[in-house]
Chains A and B, each alone.
Chain A
Amino acid sequence: MKNFIQPVFQRYWNPYVVLLIAGILSALYFGLTSTVWAVTGEFTRLGGDLLKLFGVDISGWEYYDMVHLKGTTWSRPDGWIVWGMFIGALMMVLLSNNFKIRFPQQKRRYVQGLVGGIIAGFGARLALGCNLAAFFTGVPQFSFHSWIFIVATGIGTFFGAKLTKMRWWKGKPTLTRGAAKPSKVKKRIIQPYVGAAIAIVYIGLTVYFFATGQKLLGLGALFGLAFGILIERGQICFTSAFRDLFLVGRSVMAKAIIIGMAVSSVITVIIISVYDLTPITQIAALSTFVGGILFGLGIVMASGCETGMMYRLMEGQVLFLPVFAGNIIGATFLAYAWDHLGVYDVLVESGTKINLMDSFGPVGAILATLAMLGVLYALTVYREKRYHRQLAMKRGVNQHAS
């Protein structure tokens, strides 16, 4: 038993393996439901639900027609993807006895989280997808908007990383002289039992969905759970993929995401061809680019994107409460601004839906996608190498000076 518990619960899983599985599962989820793994569309709907709760009439808002605001979050498969992810992450945090309420020492983080969350939520919905639908699950749908989004996110993240490095933004750590005592560890361990109880209830719920013929809800609940488990165990952080390249020359997450997308693309093109499905294409317009830049900037400001935020919140990181609230506020504000403030007319109307499958056929689409991912991978490696070359030079100079 120990041989099983050790690697599964005590250690985090290899991000390459995790994103490979996530890539395969998201392709399968598309094959089974003709929808993709996504979260921010549901955040926008949650915002709409809240507005309705407070008596706001949103029946005329075009954006809510577009994202099909119907029923409640409990009767929407996309809703269960979100709740499944939260529960899957919470389950794994508890099973590994890692839950702890963590308050940031720097109080400024709360403001940064809220503002960053709003910007990221707004940007993601402006571009019609976050790091999932316009990135990890957008590229394998051969929707060209995800290509624009990736480039724009990279640019936004670059400026976010610059901001992060500024003294007034990052704050000063408390470096004290001498050794300090760590926290006292509680002897009684109860978290794994709570985790197991949640797992049993949730599996019961999923079985109930299938038994009562609500297949789409069941699939949403099941895949949501799997995605939640994966992102928590792999500590999958899309924010860090670009940001850490700029900050500390770290490339693990970027490489793993690129490989996951490549595998997912290959499986998706096969599924689309064999089952004759229509890939999900979003409009590619100026809004995609602007949204991507805002999204990239916002996620770095908030220290987490819409996906990373979910498992961090479940770990007990209090910072991510304002981030979650910000994401929903930003997404909801975009839904308002879409037709009321002319966002659609200025940024979206001139765009078109472009799918590589239509433009180049399946073989051309997959070859173009793999080539693009190859270029991204090469750029990542180049950036990492350059960082470390400069570091070595800096250290050499320092040693000569001292």
Chain B
Amino acid sequence: MQANKEADFTLDLRGESCPYPVIYTLEALEGMNQGELLQVITDCPGSFRNVPEEAIAHGYTFAQDPIKNGQEFLFYIYA
């Protein structure tokens, strides 16, 4: 699954520690219109797991597999 679509919004969470990446991500998704694409950049190791898992548990879908970029992760999530 590759995202051909450019992200509508970017949430830059670099430097933020848990639980704020999860809270911020879910809030951002909630405030967006359905079908819009959110790009999340995060470097809190805890969030590598809990952001994607909670996004899915809260009913959102991923546009593509998470990308590991050095010491950070990129997520592409549909609101």
Looking at chain A's contact residues, the main secondary structure is loop
Complex contacts, B49 vs chain A, CB 8 Å: 12, 235
Which residues of chain A in 176-200 are interfacial with respect to chain B, using CB atoms and an 8 Å cutoff? 176-180, 182-183, 185-186
The chain A residue sitting closest to B76, CB to CB, is A179
Given A170-B23, A186-B70, A250-B50, does the pair A235, B45 have CB atoms closer than 8 Å? yes
Q: Considering the complex, which residues of chain B in the window 20-57 have a beta carbon less than 8 Å from any beta carbon of chain A? A: 20, 22-24, 26-28, 39, 41, 43-46, 48-50, 53-54, 57
B16 at the interface (CB under 8 A from A): yes
Which of B45, B46, B70 interacts with A240 by CB under 8 Å? B46
Contact partners of A255 in chain B: CB under 8 A: none
Q: How large is the interface on A (under 10, 10 to 19, 20 to 34, 35 or more residues)?
A: 35 or more
Stretch among A61-69, A92-100, A202-210, A355-363 lining the B interface: A92-100
**CB neighbours of A32 from chain B (8 A):** none
Please give me the residue from chain A that is nearest to B21 by CB atom: A173
The smallest beta-carbon distance between B20 and chain A, in angstroms, is 6
Instruction: Flag if B14 contacts A109 (CB, 8 Å).
Output: no
Known: A12-B48, A237-B46. A175 touches B15 (CB 8 A): no
Give the contact stretch, choosing among A142-150, A241-249, A279-287. A241-249
Interface 9-mer from A119-127, A312-320, A331-339, A368-376: A312-320
Shortest C-beta distance, B59 to chain A (Å), equals 7
Cβ contact within 8 Å between A102 and B7: no
Please give the distance in Å from B52's CB to the nearest CB on chain A: 12
Q: Which residue on chain A has the smallest CB distance to residue B32? A: A175
Residue of B nearest to A243 (CB): B19
CA–CA, A303 and B21, complex, Å: 12
Nearest Cβ in chain B — how far from A327, in angstroms? 16
Neighbour of A248 across the interface among B26, B28, B71, CB < 8 A: B26
Question: For B45, what are the chain A residues with a Cβ–Cβ distance below 8 Å?
Answer: 12, 98, 235, 312, 315
Q: How far is the CB of A90 from chain B (nearest CB, A)?
A: 13
Whether A104 sits at the interface, judged by CB under 8 Å, is yes
Given A164-B23, A178-B6, A247-B23, A183 contacting B14 (CB threshold 8 A): yes
| A220 partner residues in chain B, CB cutoff 8 A | none
How far, in Å, is A287 (CB) from chain B's closest CB? 29
Interface size of B as a range: 35 or more
B19 in complex: contacting residue of A178, A244, A249, A319, CB < 8 Å: A244
Nearest-neighbour CB distance to chain A for B68, whole angstroms, equals 8
A312 x B7 contact (CB < 8 A): no
Chain A residues in 8 Å Cβ range of B50: 240, 244, 250
With a cutoff of 8 Å between Cβ atoms, the chain B residues found around residue A388 in the complex are 57
Bound CA span A106–B19, Å: 13
**A8 interface hit (Cβ, 8 Å):** no
A304 within 8 A of B: yes
Interface residues of A, Cβ cutoff 8 Å to B: 12, 97-100, 102-106, 109, 164-165, 170-171, 173-180, 182-183, 185-186, 235, 237, 240, 243-244, 247-250, 252, 303-304, 312, 315, 317, 319-320, 388, 391, 395
- Excluding A174-B11, A247-B19, A303-B18, 4 further A-B contacts by CB distance (< 8 Å) are A170-B23, A173-B27, A235-B45, A247-B23
What are 8 of the A-B contact pairs (CB < 8 Å)? A98-B71, A175-B11, A178-B9, A182-B72, A182-B74, A247-B19, A248-B19, A315-B45
Cβ-closest 8 pairs across A and B: A185-B70, A100-B71, A173-B24, A179-B7, A180-B10, A182-B69, A105-B15, A104-B15
